[in-house]
Structure 1
């Protein structure tokens, strides 16, 4: 029997998204024993309980989408919520684990499996490229409760910057949960959010600086002695001449040596006007003390 399994799995893997369920397998005559044997031989892999696909490698976000689609195939009445719904709406996430994938169903109490967190369904779903999900504002609020202020601000900024959500919708979604445990995370994230941020790195840097007690502005215009705008800095400590630039690779890889030269000239011009620059890299985001120390030193230098 096992010799004919590969051809049978080819038929199953031709289903949408190359995902099939246990019920799909039973429907073509495969038993649980055959599924177990195929898993051992590496012919298929389990995405989550009751859902399978072919072996492969995925990025974190590809894995997130695969797991979400598998959850919807396993539970046809499910709706994506929280971080899973935020991703389904096309909004980037900062350091949010793939597992558990968040879905909601018509149940009374929260339930969990190895890969899924299943909550009671409280909101009407809407269509997304991944399938049915709660509206973006509701998803952002739930994600912030689940994963904290930094993750919340990063995705809220991105949603505002892309005009995918409004502050009015976010405030309304917060009002529905304002008495929930950990809802203070949402209140803080909304207060610290800024739709002018242009990247996750800028958003996370601003959270670190706000948590250290500084007031921070995004996309700070810099004027020369004639009052003309000559540059915009990613971030600035309000009331000071300290600027913070987040170094994303795209700034330089797209322009090569010329981009590096232009950036050096720009930096020299800013320093000539009395500004002190602090550069932050992606690696620094995971060592907030480095950023705080660098900005503290810059404030002393600028005083």
Structure 2
């Protein structure tokens, strides 16, 4: 599920402990100490020579874990991150946290998926059980009890180098060796994620426009809308904004009809007026479920004279996406308690209904279970397109 909703400023700092950052004469001793700490359940190993305190990992949501793993991989191996992992580093919101780390590989024999050992290394079962028990109070942050799967690393997938139109894979390898072709690559300063400390200052990623195009061409419409809406509106952590013209130079990499069709459909559908990833995903599902396209951010005057904007509007019907983060962060943003924010939202909804409007309230579970979303829209009276 999408978890990239908390700003960097609101996150507690997390420090990666890297053997490479220790003075050379002390590295062997420090490495032995940290390895022993892993066997005792006092530290976790994220990558070769990169460690973290267990509480930082176990309390983190999946999006932050992915970024921690990317920072550790960048420190340990300096790969070229691509697709979802590159977008995560760029600070682009995604509908779901990537289930794997994706990197480019020019050598064909190394392409494929690899799962490393557990983050607890060679610690025995009793140590792992005690580690989980000692941190079970963090289960509230995770939304479920901790288990052994919380100590499994994120798998690594090496993808073959991206091929421009008219270039075969073997031909590309020859061109790269001769210096006749440059693999799309750009250093990205990791200062865009200031809460993640102790890792490298930068990581190699695919250029933002290329990473967006390459990922969208493999994505569903809802996934693509989340990405493109945010990038075109500049709603990304790295504060980069792209226009559609920025993608033209990368379109030769859309080598198949399926990829070209998915990209064209996503571009036609993109709308930077959507104000959150949830709104982008809902808008895409509304189309795929066969309902009329809504008007976005329509202003409505409530019976008490207040002017409010609704996320989606049709004739006689409105729908609001409720991401819940606005309630959790209401104290931080405006000094209003979560309970007060919920109460204000209820009054707002009562005002909309008093105008005779049908109201559909949409939550993340509806996005993940589109049939639930379809029933809600039908019950509210959203018109069908087919």
How far apart in 1 are the matches of 2:33 and 2:296? 58
- Post-superposition shift, 1:166? 2.5
Q: Which residue of 1 aligns with 2:361?
A: 279
- Post-superposition shift, 1:250? 4.2
Counterpart contact for 1:89–1:128, Cα < 8 Å = no
1:259-270 superposed matches below 5 A? 259-260=341-342, 262-270=344-352
How far apart in 1 are the matches of 2:326 and 2:67? 28
- Post-superposition shift, 1:73? 2.5
Q: What SS is found at the alignment partner of 2:323?
A: coil
- Post-superposition shift, 1:41? 3.4
Pick closer, same or farther for the CA change 1:208–1:63 going to 2, 3 Å: same
Q: Which residue of 1 aligns with 2:321?
A: 246
Pick closer, same or farther for the CA change 1:41–1:71 going to 2, 3 Å: same
Q: State whether structure 2 residue 210 is matched by structure 1 residue 138.
A: yes
Q: What SS is found at the alignment partner of 2:87?
A: helix
| Gap regions ≥5 residues in structure 1 | 1-15
How far apart in 2 are the matches of 1:42 and 1:88? 29
Q: Which shifted more, 58-67 or 260-269? A: 260-269
- Post-superposition shift, 1:284? 2.1
- Post-superposition shift, 1:63? 1.8
Aligned length: 279
Counterpart contact for 1:47–1:70, Cα < 8 Å = yes
Q: Which residue of 1 aligns with 2:51?
A: 53
Q: Which residue of 2 aligns with 1:82?
A: 83
Q: Which residue of 1 aligns with 2:67?
A: 65
How far apart in 2 are the matches of 1:195 and 1:156? 8
- Post-superposition shift, 1:265? 4.3
Q: Which residue of 1 aligns with 2:158?
A: 118
Q: Which residue of 2 aligns with 1:176?
A: 252
Q: What SS is found at the alignment partner of 2:16?
A: helix
Q: Which residue of 1 aligns with 2:107?
A: 107
- Post-superposition shift, 1:131? 2.0
Q: Whose RCO is larger (CA < 8 A, sep 6+)? A: 2
- TM-score, normalised to structure 2's length? 0.60
Q: Which residue of 2 aligns with 1:6?
A: none
Q: What SS is found at the alignment partner of 1:216?
A: coil
How far apart in 2 are the matches of 1:160 and 1:52? 35
Q: Which string of whole-angstrom CA distances, capped at 9 and with x for unpartnered residues, describes residues 33-55 of structure 1?
A: 9987664433543324x343134
Pick closer, same or farther for the CA change 1:300–1:135 going to 2, 3 Å: closer
Counterpart contact for 1:136–1:165, Cα < 8 Å = no
1:152-191 superposed matches below 5 A? 152-162=224-234, 164-169=240-245, 171-172=247-248, 175-180=251-256, 182-183=258-259, 184-191=261-268
Q: Which string of whole-angstrom CA distances, capped at 9 and with x for unpartnered residues, describes residues 241-300 of structure 1?
A: 321101232444523465445444443443344432111122222221111112122227
Counterpart contact for 1:138–1:170, Cα < 8 Å = no
Pick closer, same or farther for the CA change 1:260–1:85 going to 2, 3 Å: same
| Gap regions ≥5 residues in structure 2 | 1-14, 116-154, 163-182, 191-201, 331-335
Counterpart contact for 1:140–1:156, Cα < 8 Å = yes
How far apart in 1 are the matches of 2:347 and 2:42? 56
- TM-score, normalised to structure 1's length? 0.74
